[in-house]
Structure 1
Amino acid sequence: MSRPRSLPANTSQAPTFAELGVAVEIVEALEARGITHTFAIQELTLPIALNGTDLIGQARTGMGKTLGFGVPLIDRVFDDAAIKELDGTPRALTVVPTRELALQVAEDLTMAAENTPVVVAAIFGGRPYEEQIEALKAGVDVVVGTPGRLLDLAHRGDLRLDEVAIFVLDEADRMLDMGFLPDIEKLLRLLNREHQTMLFSATMPGPILTLARSFMDRPLHIRAEDPGAATTHSTTKQVVFRSHRMDKSAVVTRILQARGRGKTIIFVRTKRSAAHLVEDLARRGFSVGAVHGDLGQAAREKSLEAFREGVIEILVATDVSARGIDVDDVTHVINYQPPDDPQTYIHRIGRTGRAGNTGTAVTLVGYDEMLKWQAINEENDLGKPDLPEWFSTSPELYEALDIPRNARDTVGPPRAVFASEPRRERR
């Protein structure tokens, strides 16, 4: 079980889950984890979701979207007269883009349902079919899963979706914008009864909204911030500069020695880049793990858990794999390479400066990556069109990120990469 989310400093002014009518069993489960008052997205969506209304919930990363849909989902499955009594067949289905996020969401929902008879299960690829089929046979009320494995089990007859009364898409913009739409449409066709649909995401471009509404019933679009608000957290300091490709590893090594640096996520674009960088950092003496597609599922889960628990403080990740990283106390995010699209930049740096904490996001832009940065800057209105050119020896780098002048190329003897077993393809 992951540790509970911390709450923003001003949450005492927000209503409690109890005041919004959440079942006492769920309220007590949340209180046991120190969660009493709602985040903005939860305050706005809970009354609507508890009534069974279709909705689109939008809030920046780290501001409580999971419980925004998870609490009303568990509440309705547990105690809504419009939903059939529990009999071990799923009453709710939550679809997410990655295995890591499936595990994280399932953990959060299980926590909320702890004092109820509601059973939650995560269904995703990379694990044996048998263990998931056995779980379904034993009885599951809420399924959280990735599209491919959900469809496989549904087509085999092991996953029944005919009694699903609540359907949720988490990270909806990515689900609908990155090739998942055909699978989502197939899943929707398997939902035979009338159901509530909820979409939650940090960003929701106009074309995606139009598409989403095509399979929703008069949904309400709820935003947890002013439409004109900045796309990034004001609590996140953004440092962006041009960096030579051959100097980037040395630059990252200096940044990792900054004063006050704690948990740090380093984003790269490709699995190959992730593998190269994590090995380089381990050689330089850092305790570091990775999550990317060339690692087996067990190794990825081991690295994520070690990162959450503070066993390792540095995690190198590709964008897709990082969808399951839901940790509030990340102090630094480093974009080793800028992402391919502007919205991914928002998702990346939203991993720090979360839930009332402050953070630092550093982006290294190669000379051949300036066009990507210009698109990111313009779409997100960041006001950083002209970037300084810094090297690992530049005084400006040390000053901007509070790096000690005695920072070195290595911090200790070489280490092994944490949980670095190769992936084994499952036939």
Structure 2
Amino acid sequence: MKFTDFNLKSELNKAIEAAGFVEPSPVQKDSIPIVLAGKDIVAQAQTGTGKTAAFGLPLLNMMKCDGSVEMVVIVPTRELAMQVSDELFKFGKFLNIKTATVYGGTAYARQIKHVESASIIVATPGRFLDLLSKKQITIDPRFVVLDEADEMMDMGFLDDIKDIFNYLKNREQTLMFSATMPLPIKKLAEKVLNEPAFVTVTKQEMTNAKIEQSFYVVEEYERDDALIRLFDYKDPSKAIVFCKMKRDVDRLATYLVAQGYAAKGLHGDMEQRQREEVIRAFKSDTLEVLVATDVAARGLDVKGVSHVFNYQLPFDSESYVHRIGRTGRGGMEGKAVSIVTPAEFRSLQKIQKDIGVKIESRIIPNKEAVKFKAIDGIKADIAAQEIDESVIEIIESMKDQFDLSTLTYKLATILLKQNNVKGKDNIGKTKKDIEFLLERALKGGGGSRGGRGGHSRSRNRSGGNRDRNRSGGSRSSGGDSRGRSGNRSASRSGGDRGRR
């Protein structure tokens, strides 16, 4: 099936073609005809399945573009609000559709002004309800979408959403998208939707089949060494490292910068301006590593993320799915790597059971394995390298001092030194250790209850802003990071990587 089969407006087909979309995803294929038929819908689908296009394209197709607010999309986080707004703007750009984002941490007056000229509002519940209840905006949208409904419930927004619908009574269609369907979400659907159709993406489709999933077992004190060793071995082009707690994000981002990586943190305690700057830098490849809490797990769509690293396992299976969904996007392959302690085995087993996919256990490579991998990479780089005429003079000037073989050996040695592997030789558990731990876990022994590693979940309400983010911690250090230029390894420390 092709997008052209939906018989959308030519302006939308033009935008779809510009975005490089050809074949609709399962949730798009099933949802778009239902929405075009004018029916309410409940769609259960995970992140990365193309939900924004699933509701955005058919609703844009039906909009009158009469200058009023016709569509409202309610989302749990500011990051997702910006992401959805950007996508809807791109889809509607040839229809001259304007979008406005409404979320906490930004001046009211500016957002109200943007709403006045918008056809679409993408909003987080707290700020949106404030504007409605204080009558700072008066709107009568035809279409209302709840995106990531279960996440909004987890963040405590369920009552706010119910109140919001009291102000949006004349809507023609209501659409709900949720990764899971707990009882409160089902009851909400019964209350605000009118005889909805149901679309479900099966468990087998929960995670992208093109994402290679693996885990490595270490002791708690080995997490940092394991992460650096895996970076050395896997050599990610662009990576997101997920932590549970904000304080871990701050510490780890600072540590990675000290090791020569262009890295920064992202979490809910940062000012909105800081968060937007970090996201822009990551999208533009100024950063190679983004260290984040689950605030970045939903809705952050960045092209070219080759690897996702779970520095710690998340609190639940849904968050795991959202995290790894940041890689393998747009039909590309991706890799999801989890660093796990023996105490987290129960959490790991639950995740595997919930998503219906076996996560492969692996051993962290020793220094020799990393060295050989680096040599293979150097050989490939040399074979692919085109000769720059400016280097011919350098080689010719050294021929009297060294024969060609010696010169070649010396140049190869320089390249190999740039991939110097430091740290202890062996990190983490052996294959035999892992087999024993897996066997013990299957028998019900070992592991911590819930796999939370001693941390407790906290909920942050900052400065009266009702848009909340989970897990406590300190503000980001916002430290300097080193950008990449040409050869990745050379850019990290001038010559020798010297990162451990």
Could you tell me the TM-score, scaled by structure 2's length? Answer: 0.71
User: 1:74 aligned to 46, 60, 64, which one?
Assistant: 60
1:401 is displaced (CA, Å) by: 12
Alpha-carbon distance in 2 for matches of 1:93, 1:198: 10
Structure exhibiting the larger radius of gyration computed from Cα positions: 2
In the alignment, structure 1 residue 159 sits paired with structure 2 residue 147: no
Q: Structure 2 CA distance, aligned partners of 1:127 and 1:169?
A: 22
2:338 alignment counterpart: 363
Task: Give the aligned partner of residue 7 of structure 1.
Answer: none
Structure 2: gaps spanning 5 or more residues:
378-418, 424-478, 484-500
* 173-182 or 356-365: bigger deviation: 173-182
State the partner residue of 2:431: none
Give the corresponding residue for 1:213.
Answer: 189
RMSD: 2.9
Aligned counterpart in structure 1 of residue 273 of structure 2, from 293, 298, 305? 298
Say which structure is richer in helix.
Answer: 2
SS of aligned partner of 2:290: strand
For residues 264 and 76 of structure 1, the distance between their equivalents in structure 2, rounded to whole angstroms, comes to 39
In 2, are the aligned partners of 1:150 and 1:159 still within 8 Å (CA)? no
> Which whole-Å deviations, capped at 9, do the CAs of 1:267-295 have from their partners, x for residues lacking one?
11111110010000001010012210222
**Who is 2:253 aligned against?**
278
| Alignment CA distance shift 1:334-1:374 (3 Å) | same
SS at match of 2:282: helix
User: What letter is aligned with 2:148?
Assistant: E
C-alpha distance in 2 between matches for 1:198 and 1:234: 27
Q: In structure 2, what is the Cα distance between the partners aligned to 1:230 and 1:19?
A: 23
Task: Return the alpha-carbon distance in structure 2 between the equivalents of residues 40 and 397 of structure 1.
Answer: 39
Per-residue deviation, 1:48? 1.2
Match of 1:64 in 2: 50
Cα 1:186–1:33 change in 2 (3 A) is same
Question: Contact (CA 8 Å) 1:268, 1:318: kept in 2 or not?
Answer: yes
Instruction: Note the residue ranges of structure 1 that are not aligned, 5 or more in a row.
Output: 1-13, 80-85, 410-414, 420-427
Asked whether the 8 Å contact 1:169–1:175 carries over to 2, the reply is: no
Question: How far apart, CA to CA, are the structure 2 residues paired with 1:48 and 1:402?
Answer: 54
Distance 1:408 1:65, change over 3 A: farther
Q: What is the DSSP-based 3-state SS (H/G/I as helix, E as strand, rest coil) of the residue aligned with 1:416?
A: coil
Gap change, CA 1:253 and 1:118, over 3 Å in 2: same
Residue-by-residue CA offset, 1:291-329 (whole Å, 9 max, x unaligned): 102221111111111111222121111102432311242
Matched, 1:43 2:29: yes
Paired AA for residue 164 in structure 1: P
* Structure 1 residue aligned with 2:487: none
In structure 1, what is the Cα distance between the partners aligned to 2:366 and 2:276?
A: 36
**Preserved contact between residue 47 and residue 325 of structure 2 (Cα < 8 Å):** yes
Change (3 A) 1:380 1:37: closer
Aligned residues: 387
Q: Which residue of 1 is the match for residue 39 of structure 2?
A: 53
Any idea what SS the aligned residue of 1:355 has? coil
Q: Does 1:99 align with 2:99?
A: no
Change (3 A) 1:357 1:398: farther
The 3 A distance-change label for structure 1 pair 41 and 350 is same
Do the aligned partners of 2:40 and 2:194 also contact (CA within 8 Å) in 1? yes
SS of match in other structure, 2:331: coil
Deviations 1:316-360 (A, max 9, x none): 111024323112421111000001111111111122222321111
Deviation at 1:398, TM superposition (A): 9.0
Which residue of 1 is the match for residue 147 of structure 2?
170
The partner residue of 1:380 within 355, 359, 362 is 355
